[in-house]
Structure 1
Amino acid sequence: MTVAPSELLVSLLLLVGGGFALVGSIGLARLPDFMMRLHGPTKATTLGVGAIVVGAMVHTSVTTGRLSLQELAISLFLFITAPVVAHVLAKAARARSADPGGD
């Protein structure tokens, strides 16, 4: 049984994406204050979901023979909106109190 190079690439992207998403989720749950917990979903989870979406784009492109623009648009919007949302949340936390980590 032979494995196509595109299948290996898609598998690698899914594993890397899942690993980044797991690390980001653990950071969200385990870090001590709000500002530190904000880094989990905005950094690692964004990269994880981005890798998963790129893996889906590669798989769809290989199976259909054409570029999949839906996955490309999803990854573009993800990488644009996640930092903006994190910035807005951080500014709101700073405006709310001098110690945003005080749960």
Structure 2
Amino acid sequence: MSASAEVIAGIFIFVGTIISLISAIGLVRLPDVYTRSHAGSKSSTLGVLSVLVGTLLYFVISEGYFSIRLILGIVFVFLTAPVAAHVICRAAYRSNVPLTETSAEDQLKDYFEQQSKEVNE
């Protein structure tokens, strides 16, 4: 039973490591704060969750030990990382941090221009 637990946990941990590596590469290579935030939050969240699930499965299958700390870590990462990235991007947009020149469309521009006109009137 221990060998199967190690294989299953190893697969989850390896996949999580690869996803986190891709996230790190995205943080370095992407052009602006908005796309970097996407790479830093979405894919790293998936990578960390995969590693934590692999660890949890290993302890449940191999040792028969269910860790509530790992469950709380999974829930905490799942809830906070995407929300933090959204708030950071929203603050950057409201601070007029420019999008990259290759951005296809700015869907919020019209909305915020309309809001500023209404406030000024």
TM-score (norm. length: structure 1): 0.88
Paired residue type of 1:99: P
Alignment deviations for residues 47-86 of structure 1 (CA, whole Å, 9 cap, x no partner): 0010001111112223431311111110111000011101
> Aligned to 2:98, what secondary structure does the other structure show?
coil
Match of residue 83 from structure 2: 84
Match of residue 59 from structure 2: 60
CA pair 98-30 structure 1, distance change in 2 beyond 3 A: closer
> Aligned to 2:65, what secondary structure does the other structure show?
coil
Inter-partner Cα distance in structure 1 for 2:48 and 2:78: 10
Cα deviation for residue 101 of structure 1 reads 5.2
Does the 8 Å CA contact 1:57/1:68 hold for their aligned counterparts?
yes
Match of residue 49 from structure 2: 50
Does the 8 Å CA contact 2:52/2:70 hold for their aligned counterparts?
yes
Match of residue 33 from structure 1: 32
Paired residue type of 2:17: G
Residues 54-63 or 34-43, more deviating: 54-63
Q: Percent identity?
A: 34
**Runs of 5+ unmatched residues, structure 1:** none
Give the number of the structure whose alpha-carbon radius of gyration is greater: 2
Does the 8 Å CA contact 1:20/1:47 hold for their aligned counterparts?
yes
> Aligned to 1:66, what secondary structure does the other structure show?
coil
Does the 8 Å CA contact 2:27/2:36 hold for their aligned counterparts?
yes
Residues 56-65 or 21-30, more deviating: 56-65
**Runs of 5+ unmatched residues, structure 2:** 102-121
Is 1:5 equivalent to 2:37 in the alignment? no
